[in-house]
Structure 1
Amino acid sequence: MPEPTTNPFDLTGRLAVVTGARRGLGLAMATALAAAGADVVGVSAHLEAEGSDVQRAVEALGRSFTGYRVDLADRAAVADLAETLCSGERPVDVLVNNAGTIERAPAVDHTDEMWDRVLEVDLSNQFVLTRRVGRDMVRRGRGKVLFTASLLSFQGGLNVAAYTAAKYGLAGLTKALANEWAPHGVNVNAVAPGYVATDNTRALRDDPARARSILDRIPAGRWGTPADLAGATVFLASAASDYVHGVVLPVDGGWLGR
């Protein structure tokens, strides 16, 4: 009888860091990684010291959880977080850059402050964190980096100029880092969620006409849920994706194929 094949999706013994882990996509991604065997470090600007939903979800799956409350718009705080993660007893095996923010306004009313905050959270500080953690991954010769991109890494959107610019930037950053780090055994990829029912899309879902126009274009016939990101997250965090570099993977119910 042949020996069983090793599960390429198994993350047992790995340490995964997930930013924006308190709710929504980040909570679902952290839970999926824990279900695959990873211990989790969760980061969020408003993460509770104890008893958060993400802590309960990870620990219920038998994995360890450590939480950090960090303002991801604060460059110095993000740099400090990076040093803390890299000076820990365990190396970071998986870094999921999921934290993000959005500001909705017509471009003519989109203020400098709105632009600066969105770019800082959604692009610049993701690079700051990834640069430091990635340096150690490159030195060790292994590691997985995931960014949360967007359909607006491919399209222009409406009334979200800064967000679109940041998400295009993440798609480019994914490819740039993959080109540099793939020879060192580090995979850099991104997931691009479609229209998912989260706080970021509440304004769209609360607008009956806009919500209907969006739903009518989704071949799957429904809005996504955070749990729909689970499979793609585990795939890109695991050995199953060892030969996948620089990919922005849509999880969109078929939107981009329409």
Structure 2
Amino acid sequence: MIKEINTSFDKHLFAGKTVIVVGASGGLGMAMARGFAQLGANVIGTGTSAAKNAAAQDDPANAGIRFALLDSRDNEAGKAFMAALPAIDVLVNAQGVARPGAEWEEETFLDVMDVNLNSPFRLAMAAMPQLVAAQGAVVNVASMLSYLADAAVPSYTASKTGIVGLTRALAHRYGASGVRINAVAPGYHRTDMTRELWEDPVAEARIAERSALKRWGTTDDIVGAVIFLCSPAAAFITGVTLPVDGGYHSG
């Protein structure tokens, strides 16, 4: 897919642009960060684990990406992080957690909500002065559970549903300032979060069969949609949540 990204988009599309990918030390976030870096962007990827950040920084596949520690739940840290950057052209809020079963406990419910819904709001607001100056773009990561429900993860379901509404509200608040805010809604992609399912042959086959494309998504499958939404090709698109799920939620 990265090869296809390189042939689908101008390789200098984001040259000279600063792209922040929150939650970039693994999974979907890392794939997004790599996609932007390979199109010339100066990419800063954040993560909450120093060990994961260090491992990612040492990986040759991550050339062009600088990894930094950031706890997206820490409002003051988020403000300081964004304020230290002279320019921000794109902000991708790819952070997300799920705690199956445990989310029915209030403390866990609220913590998941803070990471998945509150932190995209606070980081978008912290980065907004630079985004306005750059006439930039924000992409939030929603989920197919923005449209469906999973009783094992009430907070994940509620928070990802909330991302759709937050994206619309931000788009209308800052559209007149020239900032576009959209979201993508991934489906079943092979990540650490879904490992228990795709390592189970029965579950894997059941999920693939429901999708229109009859397969699971890869982490790279999300990259093209995010790049498109941040590119000049999407100049008149804002407030939209784009499903990237192989047709799963419409099946």
TM-score normalized by the length of structure 2: 0.88
Q: Distance in 2 between matches of 1:58 and 1:192?
A: 24
Partner of 2:152, secondary structure, is: coil
Q: Distance in 1 between matches of 2:11 and 2:220?
A: 21
Gapped regions of structure 2 (runs ≥ 5): 1-8
Which residue is 1:99 aligned to?
95
Cα deviation 1:79-117 (Å, max 9, x = unaligned): 3233222232x311100000110010187xx11121011
Which residue is 2:4 aligned to?
none
Q: Distance in 2 between matches of 1:158 and 1:207?
A: 20
Which residue is 2:220 aligned to?
227
Matches within 5 A, 1:177-188: 177-188=170-181
Residues 33 and 233 of structure 1 are in contact (CA less than 8 Å); yes or no, is this contact kept in structure 2? no
Q: Distance in 1 between matches of 2:194 and 2:151?
A: 13
Which residue is 1:75 aligned to?
74
Give the number of equivalent residue pairs. 242
Cα deviation 1:186-218 (Å, max 9, x = unaligned): 010011111001111123224444333212101
Which residue is 1:56 aligned to?
60
Give the CA deviation at 1:55.
Answer: 6.1
Question: Per the alignment, do residues 206 and 113 of structure 1 end up closer, same or farther by CA in structure 2, a change over 3 Å counting?
Answer: farther
Letter in 1 for 2:205: R
Q: Distance in 1 between matches of 2:150 and 2:98?
A: 12
Q: Distance in 2 between matches of 1:94 and 1:83?
A: 17
Partner of 1:52, secondary structure, is: helix
Percent identity between the two aligned chains: 35
Gapped regions of structure 1 (runs ≥ 5): 1-5
Backbone CA RMSD of aligned residues: 2.2
Q: Does 1:154 align with 2:131?
A: no
Letter in 1 for 2:159: A
Give the CA deviation at 1:8.
Answer: 10
Aligned counterpart for 1:215 among listed residues 208, 217, 222: 208
Q: Which moved more, 1:167-176 or 1:204-213?
A: 204-213
Partner of 1:92, secondary structure, is: coil
Give the CA deviation at 1:35.
Answer: 1.3
Residues 16 and 92 of structure 1 are in contact (CA less than 8 Å); yes or no, is this contact kept in structure 2? yes
Q: Distance in 2 between matches of 1:115 and 1:211?
A: 27
Q: Does 1:246 align with 2:221?
A: no
Give the CA deviation at 1:255.
Answer: 1.3
Which residue is 2:106 aligned to?
112
Question: Per the alignment, do residues 47 and 25 of structure 1 end up closer, same or farther by CA in structure 2, a change over 3 Å counting?
Answer: farther
Question: Per the alignment, do residues 191 and 136 of structure 1 end up closer, same or farther by CA in structure 2, a change over 3 Å counting?
Answer: same
Question: Per the alignment, do residues 44 and 121 of structure 1 end up closer, same or farther by CA in structure 2, a change over 3 Å counting?
Answer: same
TM-score normalized by the length of structure 1: 0.86
Which residue is 1:3 aligned to?
none
Give the CA deviation at 1:22.
Answer: 0.8
Partner of 1:188, secondary structure, is: strand
Question: Per the alignment, do residues 146 and 55 of structure 1 end up closer, same or farther by CA in structure 2, a change over 3 Å counting?
Answer: farther
Letter in 2 for 1:171: V
Q: Distance in 2 between matches of 1:256 and 1:9?
A: 34
Q: Does 1:34 align with 2:40?
A: no
Question: Per the alignment, do residues 106 and 117 of structure 1 end up closer, same or farther by CA in structure 2, a change over 3 Å counting?
Answer: closer
